[in-house]
Every structure is written in C-alpha cells, then in structure tokens.
Amino acid sequence: MKNFLKKMSQIPHFFNNMKSVVGRLPTYYEDGLITWQYSDFMKDEWFLACYDSAVNAGLAVYDKIHWRVHTLCWAALRGKELEGDFIECGVNKGFCSKIVMDYVGFKQFPKTFFLMDTYKGLSAKYSTENELKINKLIGYEPCYEEVKNTFKDYANVKIIRGAIPDTLQEVTSEKIAYLSVDMNCVIPEIAAAEYFWDKLVPGAAIVLDDYGWHGHEEQKYAFNEFAKRKGVPILCLPTGQGLIIKQ
C-alpha cells in the first residue's frame, strides 16, 4: 500500500513534467488510459449529468470509467437508428445500462432493453478457477432487488435473472441493434455472442468490456476465434474494450 500511495503521489509531478514537453495537461486520465488528444465527451453536459446520476445512485463498482461508458453510448446511438432491441449481458447493479438508457432517451424508444445477469456475481458452473478468483477480488454482492428498483419506471426494460447460457432463450427479440458483453467469464460470453449473432442486424455493435485487459486472456483468445469464424475483425480500443460491427 505504501508503494502504491508513493506512486500515486508522483502523478501530479509526472503531469507537470509532461506539460513542459507537450505544452498542456492531459485531456483524460482514468481507467489505465491517459491522452492529450481531444476528449470532448468529458465536456458533454448531458453525458456527465447521466453519468453522475448513476454514480450518485450508488450503482458503480468503480466510477472512473467515463471513456468506456462513452463507447457504450456511441454504440447505443448507432442502435437507436437501427431496427431491433438492446441487450446487456453482465449488468451487476446497472451502472452502465442506466447511463446508456438515460443518455439516448431509451424510455421513449419502441424497443426493449434486456438486462441479463445472475445479479450475484459469477456462476461457478460456467467459470474457470482464474475467473472466480478475479470475481472474488471485485466482490460482487446480490443486487437483484436493487436492480428491479432502479429500473421500476422503465416500462421497456426486461430484467432476466440467471446464468447465461441457461437464460438466453428468455430473450424474445428476433432483431438486436445493440449488444454489450461484460460477464468476466469466457463460457457465458461466447455462448451469448453465438446465440445472438444471427439476430444482430447489419450495423449493430457488440462491445466487449474485458477484451484488452490483462487477466482476461481467456476471453480475448476465445473472441479472436469467434471473430475468425464469423469473418469479422475486432477493434481493440485503448479503453481495453473490443468492438465488433455486424456486417
């Protein structure tokens, strides 16, 4: 802990030193990502209001992930213009899904948003030893009732509880315009991608939350094989996310 605090105390000095080289302070520093390029979404008042609302509601496990959530909002804006429903596989308390819904005005859409999770962490039945170890470190807690309360006023939200792949057939939609995958375990993630692939409409985005993160190599390699089978590329983003666009 002392070494961590020491390193953290050095960050302002690092920024000041870099300012003398680059000529300005970074525009973004969160979530393992630092950049001096434009980060205009950090000045988007509506995005920040939606984000802060979810933080203040106590929905975040970790609340410094603005760029990752911005990516989801971008994908949702694409889906808004496409035929089909929205799906999030891996919801926990609904932090990201709440921001996305509010940002794009999902309450007014003639679409359904399916929220799929165990709402109590990983299922031992479909998780590796390494995945369960990471899950234990994060410390997920039962949150089903909390999620129901969070989305009680969203008439077009359907909450599906249980482990994927067991619950996949509970999604009644035949067309999907947006798919977020963040379950921290390879078997459910690939099962969901395979099940929903043919239902995704052309132009729909799949956002893979864990794709580029160290410690999640099992998911990365499995999705590389999935993408190869489907004949599509995965864009690895500096946020650690992976992005697939259905062709």
Asked if residue 154 is part of any domain, the answer here is: yes
Confidence tier at 186 by pLDDT (50, 70, 90): very high
Q: Report the half-sphere exposure of 48 (CA within 13 A, side-chain side).
A: 7
Angle between helices 45-56 and 66-80 (to 10 degrees): 110
Confidence tier at 18 by pLDDT (50, 70, 90): low
User: What three-state secondary structure class fits 161?
Assistant: strand
Asked if residue 106 is part of any domain, the answer here is: yes
Structural contact between residues 171 and 116, judged by C-beta atoms closer than 8 angstroms:
yes
The DSSP code for 25 is: -
Residue 175 predicted with pLDDT over 70: yes
Asked if residue 6 is part of any domain, the answer here is: no
User: What three-state secondary structure class fits 34?
Assistant: strand
Please tell me the pTM assigned to this model. 0.91
Asked if residue 99 is part of any domain, the answer here is: yes
- Domain around 199: 25-245
Nearest Cα neighbor of 75 from 51, 105, 104 is: 104
What pLDDT does 234 receive?
98
Q: Report the half-sphere exposure of 118 (CA within 13 A, side-chain side).
A: 21
Measured CA to CA, the distance from residue 123 to residue 133 in angstroms comes to: 12
CATH number at residue 194: 3.40.50.150
Asked if residue 220 is part of any domain, the answer here is: yes
Residue 74 predicted with pLDDT over 90: yes
Asked if residue 20 is part of any domain, the answer here is: no
What pLDDT does 137 receive?
72
Q: Count structural domains, the chain.
A: 1
What pLDDT does 129 receive?
86
Angle between helices 45-56 and 95-104 (to 10 degrees): 140
